[in-house]
Amino acid sequence: MKPIAVLVCLALTSPALAEETDPPGLMERGAQMFLEGLMQEVEPRLDDLQGLADSFGPAMRGFFEEMGPALADLVEQVEDWSVYHPPEILPNGDIIIRRKQAAPEPEDTPGEDSDPSGPVEL
């Protein structure tokens, strides 16, 4: 059993074991059987995930070692990510991040008094 699976089982069963010293009841045994069955179903997928992490780990580590400082600099420069569109990859491989168009400022309509301190017509 993988360490993650063991931790999940211990986390779910240890409070019940700490509170009661009586033998487990029907509900506790059912829950334990359910968790054991769930772990048997999940274990092959955890093995696949571990293999994937092992294969991508060195590549991702190299990527973050090289790009980490540049990404940190970019994060410091951008104050609000919501004013940008998602990144686009151009056919030549360049990646661009376009700024969204700001809403135009409302202009005074003709005939309105531009001096707010003046008299108000009713």
- Residue closest to 67 by CA, chosen among 26, 95, 101: 95
Measured CA to CA in angstroms, residue 73 lies from 41, 51, 63, 70 at distances of 43, 32, 15, 5
- With a cut of 90, say whether residue 91 has pLDDT above it: yes
Average pLDDT, the chain: 76
* Percentage of residues of the chain with pLDDT beyond 90: 7
- The tokens for 29 are 């045994």
Q: At a CB cut-off of 8 Å and minimum separation 6, what does 85 contact?
A: 97, 98, 99, 100
Average pLDDT, integer, range 4-17: 57
What is the pLDDT, as a whole number, of residue 55? 80
Backbone angles phi, psi at 84, to 5 degrees: -120, 150
> pTM of the full predicted structure?
0.31
Q: How far apart are CA 49 and CA 6, in angstroms?
A: 16
